[in-house]
Amino acid sequence: MTHSMTAFGREEVQSPVGHLIWEIRSVNHRYQEISMRLPEELRAAEPAFRQAIANAVQRGRIDAILHYQPLASGTADNHLDHAEIRRLAQWQAEVRSVILDAAPLRTADILRWPGVLGASSVNFDRLREQALELLKKTLAAVLSNRQREGEKLAGILREHLLAARGLVQQAKKNWPAVETHLRSRLEERIAEFAEKLDPGRLEQEMVLLLSKADIREEVDRLLLHLEEVERVLGGEGPIGRRLDFLMQELHREANTLGSKSAHPTMTAACVDLKVVIEQMREQVQNVE
């Protein structure tokens, strides 16, 4: 099943240990890359959070942000940490001994200082568990969004596949007429030398030139690659790198086809084909 690498998820929970919010953004990236921003209270749990994300997302850049708001001040569980206040007062005295005109701390500044107004009853093990549970819920939302957008991408790619297959089939159908046209042009150009050349050798050289311009091998390979793209789109797991490789092969064969084109109809078909392949390649960049 096709999954996009672009998605967003946001989940929050209010509990006795505080208010938690996870925000996860997923964008396209060649490999798996995880970036996290965590509050100090939960920084020790980063390895567990990273592992949960790595297990859920195989490819793409993931930006995960966790917001944590402890219990509101004024509840029975909150208290003033006198040791932290004394430490802060000591730091203030040292600063003002160096910077004489430094403004003294206000009460509001002291209360906002991390650790001064704490909650003695916070169970950090339980806080970590809830954060991990909420992370998994958020990842589920992200994966759902990636799958939904991936299905749309697969639909777009299949439309392009249909167009590309039609162009290749048309080139294959037109080739006999193009070959006849090329043979006619060659005959006209060498008609004036026909009396001076051996007829058998002349026919050999003409066959050689036509074989070098023959596009049937490129057409067959293009059809095989397009069939493989269709098969990969119906597969499981990450398929983006495989599709990217197939886009390179399609582009290479289309270029070879274009270099052999010596007829306006074939040249126009090759240009249209390369446009469709480029459109597919751009969409593939977003596939996991």
Pairing of β 117-119 and β 18-27: unpaired
pLDDT at 228 (0 to 100):
95
Same domain, 20 and 103: no
Same domain? For 156 and 55 the reply is no
One domain for residues 161 and 212? yes
Give 181 or 28, the one with higher predicted confidence. Answer: 28
State the residue range of the domain holding 137.
Answer: 7-73+124-148
* Per-residue exposure over 29-45, b if at least 16 CB sit within 10 Å of its own CB, e if not: eeeeebeeebbebbeeb
Lowest mean pLDDT among 104-118, 233-247, 263-277: 104-118
pLDDT at position 82 is: 81
Confirm whether 2 is domain-assigned: no
The Cα 140–Cα 24 span in angstroms is 11
Q: For residue 1, how many other CB atoms are within 10 A of its CB?
A: 13
Q: Mean of the pLDDT values across residues 263-285?
A: 89
In this structure, is residue 1 part of a structural domain?
no
pLDDT of residue 109: 81
Query: Cβ(103)–Cβ(88) under 8 Å?
Result: no
CA atoms within 13 A on the CB side of 46: 12
CATH (domain of 69): 3.30.230.70
With respect to residue 47, please indicate whether it lies within any of the assigned structural domains. Answer: yes
pLDDT of residue 75: 46
13 plus 49 within the same structural domain: yes
Average pLDDT over residues 33-49: 93
Average pLDDT over residues 232-239: 88
pLDDT band at 173, cuts 50/70/90? confident
pTM of the model: 0.69
What is the separation of C-alpha 264 from the centre of its chain, rounded to a whole number of angstroms? 38
Residues 279, 148: Cα–Cα separation, whole Å:
20
Question: Band of the pLDDT at 49, cuts 50, 70, 90?
Answer: very high
Query: Does the residue 27 lie in any domain?
Result: yes
Q: Is the pLDDT of residue 191 over 50?
A: yes
Q: Which of 133, 130, 132, 141 is nearest to 57 (CA)?
A: 141
Domain end residue (candidates: 148, 164, 196): 148
Tally of CB atoms within 10 A around 7: 23
Q: How many domains does the chain have?
A: 3
| 163 shares its domain with 277 | yes
Instruction: Please give the Cα distance from 57 to 204 (Å, whole number).
Output: 59
pLDDT of residue 21: 96
pLDDT at site 157: 95
As a whole number of angstroms, the distance between CA 134 and CA 68 comes to 12
Same domain, 112 and 160: no
Please indicate whether residue 270 or residue 213 has the higher confidence score (pLDDT). 270
User: Exposed, middle or buried: residue 221 (CB in 10 Å: 0-12, 13-18, 19+)?
Assistant: middle
Q: Are residues 274 and 250 in the same domain?
A: yes
Co-location of 38 and 48 in the same domain:
yes
pLDDT tens digits for 65-85?
A: 999 988 755 444 556 778 888
Cα–Cα distance measured from residue 151 to residue 13, given in angstroms and rounded to the nearest whole number: 30
Residue 212 has pLDDT above 70, yes or no: no
Over residues 110-138, the mean pLDDT reads 80
| Residue 173 sits in the same domain as residue 232 | yes
Q: CA gyration radius for the chain?
A: 34
Rounded distance between C-alpha atoms, residue 258 and residue 264, angstroms:
11
| Residue 219, domain CATH | 1.20.140.40
The per-residue pLDDT of the chain, averaged, comes to 85
154 and 59, same structural domain?
no
Co-location of 140 and 11 in the same domain: yes
pLDDT for 76 equals 43
What is the rounded CA–CA span in Å between residue 76 and residue 257? 78
The pLDDT of residue 281 is 95
194 occurs within a structural domain:
yes
Same-domain pairing of 26 and 139: yes
Q: Structure tokens of 212?
A: 């070098």
> What pLDDT digit, counting tens, does each position of 90-123 carry?
888 888 888 888 888 888 888 777 667 665 556 7
Q: Which residues pair with 35 in a beta bridge?
A: 63
> Is 25 domain-assigned?
yes
Longest dimension (CA), the chain: 113
Task: Say if residue 188's pLDDT is above 70.
Answer: no
